[in-house]
Structure 1
């Protein structure tokens, strides 16, 4: 039997790549009430260099800041060992974007602005799904 990582035992970690710091801080507050450790990454380089990238339970990627393609960023994160499901936030969903997201392995695409709890619910579902996957592969 393999050991579950210390990160998985400590609580779920969510990495959020977004240039919208107030939204990131609000997510950190709300999710933190449920024991989720939210790490905000203001740029692609900080997400890819994050020491918890490989251990994260969920990646939230905003498509578009500074011209960054969220699907390309996910592929780069996967190349660095990230296994967590990813949620892609977009300003306009199109069929071609949906196809690119599916090809990149995006777990869920959400169109902004998000005026209800869909993002929080999606993050918690993502965390739960990834924890189950970790437990099933570590037993």
Structure 2
């Protein structure tokens, strides 16, 4: 069991990077209710500084982060060999963001994230 959430260690591990505290807290709550284990970061840098990356099942990044953007962080993680599915959360993505996300194999979820949109998208990615 994950001591922080009583979630079994066999549950999928989601890496969540969101700089907005209230959004981060809400997403963490929603994903834990769905039974996911989480590693949560306030910035991409805190994740990218790790020498050994966790064996994540899915990545969830906000696009607009302080420092490295969600897309820059995803590009760096892909270069380090992390190939798990990924979701990018943003509002009204511009064509260049859509192109870059497609190149990286990243699905975009547009804010606001109503209902179970995020958990449903993660379930979909993990089932493929």
TM range (shorter): 0.7 to 0.9
Q: By percentage of residues, which structure has more helix? A: 1
Partner of 1:120: 119
CA distance 1:127–1:22, shift in 2 (3 Å): farther
SS in 2 for 1:65: coil
TM-score w.r.t. the length of structure 2 is: 0.79
Runs of 5+ consecutive residues of structure 1 not aligned to the other structure:
1-8, 130-139
CA contact (8 A) 1:13 1:36 kept: yes
Match of 1:69 in 2: 69
- Answer whether contact 1:64 1:70 (CA < 8 A) is retained: yes
2:90 aligned partner: 90
Q: In the alignment, which residue of structure 2 is the partner of 1:111?
A: 110
Give, in whole Å, the separation in 1 of the partners of 2:60 and 2:70.
Answer: 9
Contact 2:43/2:67 (<8 A) preserved: no
TM-score (norm 1): 0.74
Higher CA-based Rg: 1
Residue equivalent to 2:101:
101
Q: Which ranges of 4 or more aligned residues in structure 1 deviate by more than 3 Å?
A: 49-54
Q: What does residue 34 of structure 1 align with? A: 34
CA apart distance, 1:78: 1.3
Pairs aligned (count)? 120
Of structures 1 and 2, the one scoring higher in RCO (CA 8 A, sep 6+) is 1
Write the deviation string for residues 118-137 of structure 1: whole angstroms up to 9, x where unpaired. Answer: 112112222333xxxxxxxx
Instruction: Give the Å deviation of 1:32.
Output: 1.8
